[in-house]
Amino acid sequence: MSECAFRRMVLEDIDRILEIEHASFPTPWSRSAFEGELKNNHFAHYVVVEWNERVVGYAGMWVIMDEAHITNIAIEPEMRGRKLGEKLLRHMMRIAWLKGAERITLEVRVSNRVAQNLYKKLGFTPQGVRKGYYSDNQEDALIMWSDLIASDLLADSSL
């Protein structure tokens, strides 16, 4: 039986994270960006998702006072469609709430309907647009927000 588990990202994960990053995004983050987040950013919280003890995805966020900002989230292409992204995002939302956040935000490409549908399922609503946000093709980003409601997060059986 396949198992899904979450744990804090460590520096030794970065090689694997970069593989997933390059398979998922046209302008992937660099090694130094991830190292900086893990070593120097006290607002940052990064998590990996493992499937049968193999890292297959990750997410990062910043929690600043009562707000959380998802910086990135990705599942390796071969593992998509198994609800791992949903479980990972729910996990991040619970961490944000436990760290004192009341709301959570993220940006998503306006063309990425699959991700937008997931975010809407988890309570995110569109609140604005960042024009030309993505440097690879100047695509706009949809800004989405969700309130973190304790009863929803604590009752979630998928965690």
Rounded to an integer, what distance in angstroms lies between the CA atom of residue 14 and that of residue 37?
Answer: 11
Instruction: Write out the two tokens for 149.
Output: 């409601």
User: Residue 119 catalytic?
Assistant: yes
Catalytic residue among 12, 119, 133, 134: 119
Cα 146-111-28 angle, rounded to 5 deg: 85
CA gap 159, 7 in Å, rounded: 12
Question: Choosing from 107, 133, 134, 139, which is the catalytic residue?
Answer: 107
CB-based contact 24:77 (threshold 8 Å): yes
Confirm whether 107 is a catalytic residue: yes
Q: How many CA atoms lie within 13 A of 118 on its CB side?
A: 19
Which residues are annotated as catalytic? Answer: 107, 119
